[in-house]
Structures are given as structure tokens and as C-alpha cells.
Amino acid sequence: MESVSPDYARAHVLIIGAGPAGTACAIRLAQRGVKDVLLVDSHDFPRDKTCGSGLSGSAVAALKALGAWGRIAPLAYPIQGIRVVTPAGHEAVSDGGEDRHAFVCVRRVLDAEMLTVARERGVRFIPHFKAAHPILQGQRWVGMEDTEGRVIRADVVVVATGAHCKWTLSTEPKYSVHAIMGWWDDVPYSPHCVEMIWYRALDGYYGWLFPEGGRRVNIGITYSDRVKEPGARELFTSFLDRHYGERLQGATQVGDWKGHPIVYGWKLGRLWSPGRIVIGEAGHMTNPFTSEGISQAMRSGIFAADALGDVHDGVKSETEALDHYESTCARTFLPSFWASGAFLAAARTPVLDAVVKATQSSFLKNTIGKALSHL
Ligand SMILES: Cc1cc2nc3c(=O)[nH]c(=O)nc-3n(C[C@H](O)[C@H](O)[C@H](O)COP(=O)(O)OP(=O)(O)OC[C@H]3O[C@@H](n4cnc5c(N)ncnc54)[C@H](O)[C@@H]3O)c2cc1C
């Protein structure tokens, strides 16, 4: 006789993955009065996540809507300027005036704080639960089993497992940007200013320096599948030598370099099936060029929670609410992805060099810097 594991836990909504998508969804469900929400993750928190940790204005707006910004703001480093270097070495600098719309908040801190907010709102959390197999009743998802055979049953399962997700529904093509990055102490940097450096070998993509506050910065590169060689470490080494050689001389590297893919799509396709909703990077909602994904993760988590809230309140059927979720994500995110794709195409030509070189006007240079910082 087949042995059936006894249920380990039960919830109304089970959220798999406690990154920004999963925690935003959990907090929003609590705001909507949906009870019995259980969040699980294969890790305990705080945990590291390979990420530049840049928070755009829309990420900050999402945190404010979730009532989490008050806790995170004192731990985030404000950004008001951007330095851009084109492939031919022309520079544009925008000081951003007194506006501080963007921040850097280390993911170890951001994700743990968001989880704390969720728990304070009554969401339960189970760490070290590595989801392995969905539990099905007919076509409907009714729970998840982990790698140790523990079963959690639920009415709805929200999939928020990030770039390496196994349970994405979309049949639309998925693409990856490669990234490698590291952390250093005591690299000289302009306070409150991020750097975006175009380097020809990255095929239109760029390298960055993000100050994390205090003595620490993170530096990394992204590049596409079209770059076949050299390997990631060689590419990163040549980028660092070319653009940061001098500034790294008195600096101390902190930990190892980390590589991680960024997964995106030009179309989103299906984001739900009966009993299953996919949010965040698991649903390919990442900017194809800037690699921004925190804001989309949180906002898709909020949209999904609102859909479940509407079902809970009896305002919409599950099909109506989740179809609306799907179309809201596409309408909200795809136009900026397509605009970024156009910028990437232009960055592969001499256009960026020509524009920055031709503009002696500081107004235009500032405008370029500002436009980039809003992509
Ligand atoms: C090098 C790099 C730099 C980046 N820089 C930025 C940036 O500056 N700004 C920005 O906005 N975005 C950036 N991104 C993108 C951003 O990191 C992601 O898009 C964002 O983290 C997606 O959030 P998420 O919640 O969907 O997934 P994640 O943050 O990946 O969270 C997924 C969670 O699910 C858990 N999980 C995974 N599998 C399982 C499983 N089987 N069972 C249980 N739990 C599981 C993981 O432990 C994790 O906690 C960067 C990405 C990379 C790789």
C-alpha cells in the first residue's frame, strides 16, 4: 500500500519563498484581512541574496503602501546622483539635486525586515522548508511537499521562488541575463551616487557601483547570452581592471564574487492555474536591461494578494480575480520592459557615445542621467 505522509501544517494561503515577492504578498493579504497565511522558505532569515540591492522610487512606493518603509528607511542608503560612462569613455553625471527617490538596502536586511513586518501582522513562517512537489487534487494545487516529505495543505499556493523556479506556468520564451558581482570596503566613491559603466565586452549591458553606506560598495556586471567568451570571472576581472583598477588598490574585498542569473520575459503569459499563483521573478517579471526586479516582485505580490482579497471578500470569482491579476501585471510591467529593450538595442550601437559626446550642455547630460535612473 502506498504510504501517505501525515500533514505537517495547513493554511488558507501557502506562500513558497520569502523574498520581496512572497513577503509583500503576505503583508498585503494581512492588510486585506485574509487570515491563516503561511510563508515558507528553504532558508532561515536573515540570509544573503546576490543582488545590487538598489531600490527604485516604485520599490519605495510599494514599501510605503505595505506600511514597511518606516522600518526600512533608517537602514537604507539614499541615492541622489548617477555617474554614467559610455563605451568610448564619455561621462555624464547627474547630481539629482535634493531629490532622494532611490535607495540601496542590502538584501540581507531588506528581506529580513519585510519578513518581520509580515510576522508582526500575523503571518506564520516556517524556515528550512525546501518545496519539492505540489500536491494535486485533479488539476488543482492543494498544497506542497518538501524534500523531507513534509506536506503542507492549503486552499491556494503562491509560488514566489525567484529565478530558479520550477513551477512557472508561462509557455512564453524565457531569457536570462548573466551577472557576477562582489563587495569591497574602502573604495573611494562619491557619496549618494551610483555608477553605471558601459563596457563594450558586455554587449550593450553595463557594470555598476552601488554604495551600500559606510565603507562598503558592491560592484558587478551583467551581460547577455550572446557573450560567449571569456568566462564570467575573466570578463569581470577585465572590467574591474579597466574601470576600477586604481580605486580598488587600497580596498579590501569582502567575501567571494557571486554569480546569479536574472530571468525575464518580453511577454508574461499565464500566471495562474487553479490553486496556484506565480509572482515575482518566478513569473519572469524582471527588467530585461536594468535587471531591476525588487519593485516588480513586491508589486506583483501586492496585485496577487489583492486578487485573493477580492475572492475572500466575495467581490470576484477566482477566475475573474486571477485573470485580472494576470492582465494587471502585463499592463503594468511590459511597457517599461519594452522601453528598456529599445534602450539596450541603442546601447549596442554608437548612439549612447554620440549623444553624450555631442552634448556639452550640462542640462542635457543631467537629463540623460535622470532618464537612465528612471528606466
Ligand atoms: C547580480 C544581481 C543584481 C541585481 N540587482 C538588483 C537591484 O539592484 N535592484 C533590483 O530591483 N533588482 C535587482 N536584481 C533582481 C532581484 O534580485 C530579483 O529580481 C528579486 O530578488 C526577485 O524577488 P523574488 O521575491 O521574486 O525572488 P527572490 O528574491 O529570489 O526570492 C525567492 C525566495 O524563494 C526561496 N526559494 C527558492 N526556491 C525555494 C524552494 N524550492 N522552497 C522554498 N523556498 C525557496 C529563496 O530562498 C528566496 O528566499 C538583481 C539580481 C541579480 C542576480
22 class by beta-carbon count within 10 Å (0-12 exposed, 13-18 middle, 19+ buried): buried
> How remote is the C-alpha of 288 from its chain's centroid?
11
CB 338 within 8 A of CB 266: yes
Residue 19 CA to ligand 1 center (angstroms) comes to 6
Q: Which atom of ligand 1 is nearest to the CA of 56?
A: 11
Segment 108-131 shows an average pLDDT of 98
Element (DSSP H or E) covering residue 325: helix 318-347
Determine the pLDDT at residue 229.
80
Q: Which of 67, 56, 92, 42 is nearest to 359 (CA)?
A: 92
Domains of the chain: 7-49+105-173+267-340 (3.50.50.60)
Write the residue with the smallest CA distance to atom 33 of ligand 1: 17
Write the residue with the smallest CA distance to atom 13 of ligand 1: 292
User: Does ligand 1 lie within 6 Å of residue 207's CB atom?
Assistant: no
| Percent of the chain predicted with pLDDT > 70 | 92
Per-residue pLDDT tens digits for 54-77: 999 999 999 999 999 999 999 999
Residue 286 corresponds to which amino acid?
Answer: T
Residue 325 CA to ligand 1 center (angstroms) comes to 21
Reported pTM? 0.94
Write the residue with the smallest CA distance to atom 29 of ligand 1: 19
Residue from 77, 161, 166, 337 whose mutation best tests the ligand 1 pocket (most atoms within 8 A of CB): 161
Per-residue pLDDT tens digits for 283-322: 999 999 999 999 999 999 999 999 999 999 999 999 999 9
Is residue 162 predicted with pLDDT exceeding 50? yes
Give the whole-angstrom CA distance, residue 160 versus residue 293.
Answer: 13
Determine the pLDDT at residue 1.
44
Residue 173's pLDDT band (cuts 50, 70, 90): confident
User: Does ligand 1 lie within 6 Å of residue 51's CB atom?
Assistant: yes
